[in-house]
Amino acid sequence: MTETLKADLCVIGAGSGGLSAAAGAAMLGLKVVLYEKHEMGGDCLNYGCVPSKALLSCAKAAASVREAGKYGIGASAPTTDWSAVKAHVAGAIATIAPVDSQERFEGLGVTVIREAARFADPKTIVSDTTRTTARRIIIATGSRAFIPPVEGLDRVPYITNESIFTLPDFPSHLVILGGGPIGLEMAQAFRRLGAEVTVIEMGRALARADAGHAAIALDALRAEGVTILEQHKAVRISGEAGKIRVHTENGSGSPVIDGSHLLVAVGRRAVMDGLDLEKGNVYHSPKGIEVGDTLRSRSNPRVWALGDAAGREQFTHVAGWHASVFTRRALFKQRTKATSLPVPAVTYTSPEVAQLALTEADARDQFASGVTTSSFPFHENDRAIAEGKTAGECKLVLHKGRLVGASIVGEGAGDIIQMVGLAMSNGLKLSALTNFISPYPTRAEVVKRAASAHFTPVVFGKNMRRLVGLLQRFP
């Protein structure tokens, strides 16, 4: 028997974007039907942000033991209990899971259907047991690891973010295809936990980050023993479980890398298979659903795409923002756009690499002239000095004196950059980042010092000295 449902909103995908939109609509009194064929919480909770940060916390603990000597603390070399590490990761997921659970959303009034969904026509979604007609339909199906067409890869065992956190055995030598955020975070984590690690990147590692700041992070990883091979293209892979061989080309030779495990982390692709988008008159490309800045389908105005399915930035926080855009536009009839706010991105290595809006290189490409930067190094920050974490810099990117981006590399960069995000999102002038009292000593003071550095030539310049000298004549 097929159950027939009618809804104000039908959501496909119970990840960050889909859950946020479903919860908002339900709390506003709308009838919501939510489809999810896998785990509630989507990739972020189960295979991405949460488990990766939990793993990184274990790795950071191991690194702290190794570094204890430089602080005058005696400690023996750490050992890794992989089962206990996996238990910590699983515990973090389990603690957060109730927030995304089927029970919670049913408590909000959402009809949750744990089946694969697909279009039957432009306004109807069907599954094995249901048929839902909806006024609005959200596609929030997320993304999965892209598997590149490298010769032999389909014939050897490899892992992705969906399997790395539950590996039965700890890798003795982890080979990673891809030098992006996922690849490098896992590289440092497994190296700190005791594995040999080699990263193979066909271009520049952390290519989307500020080049100088990426170099600082890469130097730190290399100092810890991670081998990072940039400008190396994997051309053939062979081997078997426990014995993987990657053949590469680097323009001057054909290096061969042997390892025990292979992690594929070369990027992600939106999940659209099985949706029967053609029946829904939903245009799409390999990148995702074709939408404008409103996130509404260009071909079917009943349909919206959120998160990775929208073919834009692939971050959990962007998916959450997309849900806000949908709610404001579709339900409150506001004119909010997906491009309304600058997007932050953080690579959670040590040191962290944080980016907001344009890099310096992006700005110089976008604007013909008028681009300047204002910086302050961590090695002049007293808190960084006191804690012995001085690698890093805060760089503010300006166009004709207006903030258009920021890059920060250093301990806690992901937290620190939020101050700049607040300023940019609310149209504040650069001077706003100087006009507050920063508690001493804190790393976040680097933002204030970087902003102040922009005004230093004027405030302490020749003309200002003359003015101050003149003012001293008056009582």
pLDDT of 311-354, one tens digit each?
Answer: 999 999 999 999 999 999 999 999 999 999 999 999 999 999 99
What confidence tens digit (pLDDT) does each residue in 84-124 have?
Answer: 999 999 999 999 999 999 999 999 999 999 999 999 999 99
Residues 6+ apart with CB under 8 A from 1: 129
| 3-145+269-331 fold | FAD/NAD(P)-binding domain (3.50.50)
- CA 462 centroid distance within chain: 45
Structure tokens at 69: 């000597």
Sign (positive or negative) of CA dihedral 304, 308, 311, 313: positive
CA-wise closest residue to 163 among 174, 152, 155: 174
Give the class (CATH, top level) of 153-267. Answer: alpha beta
Q: What is the pLDDT of residue 463?
A: 85
Mean pLDDT of 25-35: 98
Mean pLDDT of the chain: 97
Q: What CA–CA distance (Å, rounded) separates 396 from 179?
A: 25
Contacts of 297 (CB under 8 A, 6+ apart): 282, 283, 289, 290, 291, 303, 304, 305
Percent of the chain with pLDDT over 70: 100
**Of 270, 309, 315, 332, which is closest to residue 421 (Cα–Cα)?**
315
Q: What is the pLDDT of residue 77?
A: 92
Residue with tokens 């849900």: 323
pLDDT higher than threshold 90 for residue 228: yes
User: By three-state DSSP, how is residue 229 classified?
Assistant: strand
Cβ atoms 94, 202 nearer than 8 A? no
Return the bridge partners of 105, or none: none
Residue with tokens 């279009």: 119
Give per-residue pLDDT as tens, 156-188. Answer: 999 999 999 999 999 999 999 999 999 999 999
pLDDT band at 460 (very low <50, low <70, confident <90, very high): confident
Closest CA to 444 of 456, 454, 433: 433
pLDDT for position 465: 80
Q: What angle do CA 261, 264, 265 make, to 5 degrees?
A: 130
Tell me the one-letter amino acid at 166.
T
Q: Which CATH number fits domain 351-459: 3.90.1150.10, 3.30.390.30, 3.40.50.300, 2.40.50.180?
A: 3.30.390.30
Residue limits of CATH 3.30.390.30 in the chain: 351-459
- In 3D, which of 185, 221, 166, 193 has the Cα closest to residue 61? 193
CB-CB contact of 363 with 374 (8 Å): no
pLDDT at 1: 77
pLDDT of residue 468: 82
Nearest CA-CA partner of 55 in 191, 169, 147, 176: 191
Tell me the average pLDDT across 370-392: 98
Q: DSSP for 161-218?
A: TTTGGG-SS--SEEEEE--SHHHHHHHHHHHHTT-EEEEE-SS-TTTTS-HHHHHHHH
Ramachandran quadrant class, 23 (left: phi over 0; alpha: psi -120 to 50; beta: rest): alpha
pLDDT at 258: 98
Overall average pLDDT of the 150-158 stretch: 97
Whether omega for the bond prior to residue 441 falls within 30 degrees of 0, making it cis, is yes
Q: Report the pLDDT averaged over residues 213-222.
A: 98
Kindly report, as residue ranges, where domains of CATH 3.50.50.60 are found in the chain. Answer: 3-145+269-331, 153-267
**Gap between the Cα atoms of 218 and 184, Å rounded:** 9
Instruction: List CB contacts of 382: < 8 A, sequence separation 6 or more.
Output: 440, 441
CB contact set of 175 (below 8 Å; sequence gap of 6+): 197, 198, 200, 244, 246, 257, 258, 259, 261, 262, 263
Q: Decide: pTM greater than 0.85.
A: yes
pLDDT higher than threshold 90 for residue 459: no
